[in-house]
Amino acid sequence: MAADPFVVKDIRVEGLQRVEPGTIFSYLPVRVGETFTDDKGADAIRALYNTGFFKDVKVESDGQVLVVRVEERPTLASVDFTGLKEFDKDALKKSLRAAGVADGRYFDKSIIEKAEQELKKQYVSRGFYKAEIKTTVTPVDRNRVAVVFNVEEDEISKIKSISINGLQNFKESALLDEMQLSQGNWLSWYTKNNLYSKQKLVADLESIRSFYLTRGYLEFSIESTQVSISPDKTGIYLSINVKEGVQYKVSSIKLAGELLGKEDDLNKLLQLKPGDIFSSSKLTASTIAMADKLGAYGYAFAAMTPSTDLNKEAQLVDLTLTVDPGKRIYVRKINVTGNNKTRDEVIRREIRQLESSWYDSEKLKLSKDRINRTGHFTEVDISNEEISNSTDQIDVNVKVAEKPTGSLSLGAGFSSTDKLILSAGISQENVFGTGTSLGLNLNTGKTARTLAISSYDPYFTEDGISRFTDIYTRSSMPLYYAGDTQYKVQSTGTNFKLGVPYSEVDRVFFGIGVEQLKMTSSVNTPLAYQEYLREYGETSLNVPLTLGWARDGRDSALIPSRGTYQQVSVELGTSLGDLQFYRAFYQHQYFFPVFKGNVIALNGEVGYGDTYNNKTFPITKNYYVGGIGSVRGYEPGSLGPQTSQVYPGTSIPTGVTSPTGGSSKLVLNGEYTFPVPGSGVDKTLRLFGFVDAGNVFDGTIELSQLRKSYGFGLSWISPLGPLKFSYALPLNSKPEDRLQRFQFQIGTAF
């Protein structure tokens, strides 16, 4: 009803329960002393409704008093679910809260209906096409309601068949192998590859298209796709209709555009040649390689635009790559992020790209590899960021994801021989974020006791000279369990080593050490150790010099996927001590990616030792082989020559033997590593299969005596550090060999 305008002398609000009166006054278009009209009344009602706080609003007059009567919407007292199995209740509550459905929010039927539909979509995305969701709204006290989403998940819908029609040159199975979606297999419970997803289908269609373009079918097209569901909504049927076309060969390929005088260099990067079957993957690889080449000269945004000219009758294609280098770019700033613990300088000292200099893609790639080789990070990403109002400058962003670099171990045990055993160890590869490693190891066992402190500083000097030092005292009674309580080896010493870089991947090492070795024995001590005592005495001093070289071309020290690693070392016992010997060691590792996170890794190690004073090679310097890290499936250090214990006061063997190691060794390893199915290309959790071979020898290496094994395992970059578990099956073990099929290690690649 229309009302005559009047001057407002007072404003009265009725019906409020939770909303403050001030909120009402802030939305009213009229104040005390102003004239109220019908238009202002309509504006007031509209404004108060739009707040969402009220389900009924009335504006009336009582004389010259403006009366605002409201009825508040009920609030949500609680939001709950019943019948949930597929989803986590807390995760769903969190997503609904973002949509406005949460405890304490105002009840709005339309929002609840939208939330219900969104939950339905979530179930459909996981293949639950029969899922039903019904919402119950129950009034409670103080103008509140309780909302319960009642879920009936029912049976999950699975892909029953995938058919690809129109094939002439390839088998359907070859194309199905390119797809993520499938009819399912024994791993589908984990990979979920038999559950339909529109996003996966789009990706699969692109994979099929890429399959044909890589093989020269330039006119290939996907005519249509049909997705149907069975009447009971438990089965999904996919039908893909394709037109293959014909296969094209390259008749010519040329470069055009601004070549900057680098035409010869760019032509060398072309992977397609006249006469080759056209391949989109080779064309893409060529354009990426050329863009990287121009990036090394400062052209960060170089673009290669391919164009094709088809001769359909001859089934030939002429290719033209138009090069647009763009402007030469400077790097304004380098930003480092993600290093919550590691200091910026630890990362920046590995970066070879300089600020305020020309952009260089090769230096940035090298920088990424060097940062990865520190071993402190699980991920390293380098990206470019354009600067507004500048056409010749960019910022480079280096983003890292740190891995746990410290570990603490505490242990206690009891045995009939060692009694109470206490052990503790602490190591930190990145002390206070400086990149320096520090370790302390303590063991109180009766047969093996250790106290060792070690430190490694990769940047002992600003020029990148590294320093390694350790101080240790160790004692072992390896024959204690066999009844020889007198045999004991006590070693105390220190080592100091410097590593000098002379290229981005090469480093030479120089070191010196001092070690005092003390050995006690009894009449039960095996013959090999008694012979050592006769030659060198119970106490001996060793002052070794070490020389070495290492070349690290891996893309990561923690999780390598490509590149090589080599090291050579020579340890020489000098005449300053009692042990005059030499030991030479060479190792070569090779990593190369296969596809989608699959990596083949090869490792070879060879060592040889001898004396230069006509004495027997000291048994304390022998190599040991066996166990994870060398030949899996055999007890650690158990392969190779054995020594027999003797009856007291005689040289008659008792039949009890112990491994003594050998002066030479050969170890060969091969691993095929791949991500856990369903984890994408996650690098932190991987499966692997392996083949090992190796042994130690007294002198000449005999290939016929190599022990071999094969098996499988799991590697995990855990909060405790890199863990590796393996199960091995020996191939040619001998009766005297000591087998240990399941083994684990906290350590690195091999």
Lowest mean pLDDT among 33-47, 300-314, 336-350, 423-437: 423-437
* Third-level CATH fold of 75-152: Ubiquitin-like (UB roll) (3.10.20)
The larger pLDDT score, comparing residue 448 to residue 116, is at 116
**What integer pLDDT is reported at residue 404 of this predicted model?**
75
3-state helix, strand, coil in the chain (%, to 5): 20, 45, 35
Say yes or no to pLDDT of 130 above 70. Answer: yes
List the helix and strand counts (H, then E) for the chain: 12, 39
Residues in CB range of 573: below 8 A, 6 or more apart: 542, 543, 544, 579, 580, 581, 582, 621
| Per CATH, domain 458-746 is 2.40.160.50 | yes
Strand partners, 454: 439, 470
Secondary structure of 699-724 in HEC code, one letter for each residue: CCCCHHHCEEEEEEEEEEEECCEEEE
Per-residue confidence (pLDDT) for residue 409, from 0 to 100: 54
Stronger pLDDT, 405 or 175, i.e. the higher one:
175
Which residues belong to CATH 3.10.20.310 in the chain? 6-72, 75-152, 158-243, 249-324, 330-402
Question: Residue 334 pLDDT > 90, yes or no?
Answer: yes
Q: Residue 46 belongs to what H/E stretch?
A: helix 38-50
Q: Provide mean pLDDT across the span 507-520.
A: 92
User: Strand ranges (DSSP E) for 167-248?
Assistant: 221-229, 235-243
- Long-range contacts for 343-346 (Cβ within 8 Å, ≥24 apart)? 343/433, 343/434, 343/435, 346/374, 346/376, 346/430, 346/433, 346/434, 346/435
What is the structure's pLDDT at 682?
67
CATH superfamily membership of 158-243: membrane protein fhac (3.10.20.310)
Q: Are strands 377-386 and 393-402 parallel, antiparallel or unpaired?
A: antiparallel
CATH for the 6-72 domain, from 3.40.50.1450, 3.40.50.10710, 3.10.20.310, 3.40.50.1970: 3.10.20.310
| CA–CA dist 216, 175 (Å, integer) | 15
Q: Identify the three-state secondary structure at position 552.
A: strand
**Sheet of 357-358: strands edge to edge?**
357-358, 330-337, 393-402, 377-386
Q: Which tokens is 23 given?
A: 């909120």
- Phi, then psi, of 430 in degrees rounded to 5: -145, 65
| pLDDT for the residue 371 | 93
Q: How many residues are recorded in the chain?
A: 750
Main-chain phi, psi angles of 363, to 5 degrees: -70, -35
Is 392's pLDDT higher than 70? Answer: yes
Percent of residues, the chain, with pLDDT higher than 90: 49
pLDDT band of residue 524 (cuts 50, 70, 90) is low
CA distances from 501 to 228, 362, 459, 466, 546 (A): 64, 20, 10, 8, 16
Integer Cα distance of 157 and 307 in angstroms: 44
**Distances in whole angstroms, Cα of residue 89 to Cα of each of 83, 86, 126, 505:** 10, 9, 16, 52
User: What is the assigned CATH class of domain 330-402?
Assistant: alpha beta
Report pLDDT digits (tens) over 186-233: 777 767 788 888 888 999 999 999 999 999 999 999 999 999 998 888
Inter-helix orientation angle 198-214/280-295, to 10°: 90
Sign of the alpha-carbon torsion through 202, 203, 205, 210: positive
C-alpha neighbours within 13 Å on the C-beta side of residue 143: 16
Query: What's this model's pTM, rounded to 2 decimal places?
Result: 0.65
**Which residues, including other chains, have CB under 8 Å from residue 724's CB and lie 6 or more apart?**
628, 713, 714, 715, 716, 744, 745, 746, 747
Q: Which CATH number fits domain 249-324: 3.10.20.310, 3.90.1200.10, 1.10.443.10, 3.40.50.970?
A: 3.10.20.310
Q: Give span(s): CATH 2.40.160.50, the chain.
A: 458-746
**Element at 207 (helix H, strand E):** helix 198-214
Rg of the Cα atoms in the chain: 37
Measure the CA–CA gap between 417 and 414, rounded to whole angstroms.
8
Q: How many Å apart are CA 450 and CA 722, to the nearest integer?
A: 23
Q: Which of 139, 85, 76 is nearest to 112 (CA)?
A: 76
Per-residue burial over 613-639, b = 16 or more CB atoms within 10 Å of its CB, e = otherwise: eeebbbbbbbbbbbbbbbbbbbebbbb
Element (H, E) at 25: helix 21-27
